[in-house]
């Protein structure tokens, strides 16, 4: 059985440049992930802050033996944002497409399809593979079984599953951080920087529910796919994606690597994760074909 790979997905949140540098340096040196996505996905207005540090981070990650993937914006609007997608797509490294805007720019060279692009069936997957998709991470609401159905029809491509983190649930033209603070998107004062895991949204009855991150809405709960590696392999799933958060991501990666290597069982992995000060309780309903908010069942 080939080893199931671990991917560190793109960071959704607005972290200061210094924190980005420290975070990815540690990932480069210590995290047992073989692939790392870098780049701003959520908000083009954040790019002037992070763009200057990516070259150094890419260098560190690559000298640490990681394969670097350049993630592109999910909801480009301005000319500058569209140009940044073109520039990323011209790179020789692997690129993650998060909006169809990037597809023509990539011109058939290899790419990753991220979970913000709608791949719900094998016909769409096959079309994208013909155009250069070498890894496909389906939308988060797609179950493991359904991913298996798609993967079975596309044996030449690696299927990756969003396996750890607050779930990216929605995008909007409106910035909710700005709206909450009574500001306009164009003069937002980057209030999203105050919330390194997004800002928790509770119901009026104090149920943790969602989290806002600029134009993005995530789940408050932390999605965790803790499935035996043999079961993942049987479904044709070749990679798990871990989404960066403020908790100890090196420890998260170690936990998943131990699970995938058979050194840790799912229940042990679940307990290990809950000790890491996660921003929400663990859920995995989507993986099981149910409402995404369904909690992880204890063994």
Partner 1 sequence: MSGRMELVCPAGTPATLRAAVQAGADAVYCGFRDETNARNFPGLNFSPQEMAEGIRFAHDHGAKVLVAINTFAHAGAVDPWRKAADIAAGAGADAIIAADIAVLDHMASAHPGTRLHLSVQAAAATPEAIGFYAKTFGVRRVVLPRVLSVQEIAALNRAIDVETEAFVFGGLCVMTEGRCHLSSYASGRSPNLNGVCSPPEMVSYDEDAGGTAARLAGFTIDRYKPGQPTGYPTLCKGRFKAGDKAGHLFEDPVSLNAGSMIVALRSAGVTALKIEGRQRGKGYVTEVVRAFKRAVEAAERGFDPTAIDSILASLSEGGRQTTGAYRKTWR
Binding residues for partner 1, rule: CB under 8 A, are 74-77, 82, 85, 99-105, 116, 118, 120-124, 127-128, 139-142, 146-147, 149-150, 167, 169-174, 176, 179-180, 184-186, 199-207, 209-210, 212, 217, 219, 285-286, 290-293
Smallest distance from the beta carbon of 60 to partner 1, in angstroms? 32
287: tokens are: 């993986």
246: tokens are: 């403020």
58 versus 178: smaller Cβ distance to partner 1: 178
Smallest distance from the beta carbon of 223 to partner 1, in angstroms? 10
Smallest distance from the beta carbon of 187 to partner 1, in angstroms? 9
Residues 6+ positions from 156 with CB-CB distance below 8 Å? 129
Cα(252)–Cα(276) distance, integer angstroms: 8
Rg (Cα) of the chain, in Å, rounded?
18
Smallest distance from the beta carbon of 48 to partner 1, in angstroms? 18
121 versus 274: smaller Cβ distance to partner 1: 121
Q: Which residue has the tokens 């999203």?
A: 192
135 versus 216: smaller Cβ distance to partner 1: 216
154 versus 253: smaller Cβ distance to partner 1: 154
Cβ contact 176:217 at 8 Å: yes
Cα(39)–Cα(20) distance, integer angstroms: 11
Cα(185)–Cα(194) distance, integer angstroms: 16
19 versus 294: smaller Cβ distance to partner 1: 294
Cβ contact 143:235 at 8 Å: no
Smallest distance from the beta carbon of 133 to partner 1, in angstroms? 11
């Amino acid at each position: 059985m080939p080893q199931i790979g671990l991917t560190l997905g793109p960071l959704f949140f607005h972290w200061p440049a210094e924190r980005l540098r420290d975070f990815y340096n540690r990932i480069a040196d210590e995290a047992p992930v073989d692939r790392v996505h870098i780049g701003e996905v959520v908000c083009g207005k954040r790019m002037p802050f992070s763009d200057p540090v990516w070259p150094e981070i890419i260098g560190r990650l690559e000298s640490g033996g990681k394969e670097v993937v350049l993630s592109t914006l999910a909801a480009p609007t301005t000319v500058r944002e569209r140009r940044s997608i073109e520039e990323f797509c011209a790179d020789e490294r692997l690129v993650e497409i998060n909006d169809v805007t990037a597809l023509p720019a990539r011109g058939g060279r290899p790419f990753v399809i991220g979970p913000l692009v709608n791949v719900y069936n094998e016909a769409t997957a096959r079309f994208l593979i013909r155009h250069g998709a070498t890894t496909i991470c389906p939308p988060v609401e797609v179950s493991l079984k359904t991913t298996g159905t798609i993967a079975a029809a596309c044996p030449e491509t690696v299927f990756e599953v969003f396996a750890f983190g607050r779930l990216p649930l929605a995008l909007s033209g409106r910035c909710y951080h700005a709206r909450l603070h009574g500001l306009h998107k164009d003069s937002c004062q980057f209030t999203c920087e105050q919330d390194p895991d997004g800002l928790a949204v509770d119901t009026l009855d104090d149920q943790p529910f969602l989290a806002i991150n600029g134009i993005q809405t995530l789940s408050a709960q932390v999605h965790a796919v803790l499935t035996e590696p043999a079961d993942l392999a049987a479904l044709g799933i070749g990679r798990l994606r871990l989404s960066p958060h403020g908790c100890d991501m090196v420890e998260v990666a170690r936990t998943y690597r131990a699970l995938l290597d058979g050194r840790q069982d799912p229940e042990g992995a679940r307990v290990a994760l809950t000790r890491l000060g996660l921003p929400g309780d663990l859920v995995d309903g989507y993986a099981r074909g149910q409402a995404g908010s369904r909690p992880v069942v204890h063994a």
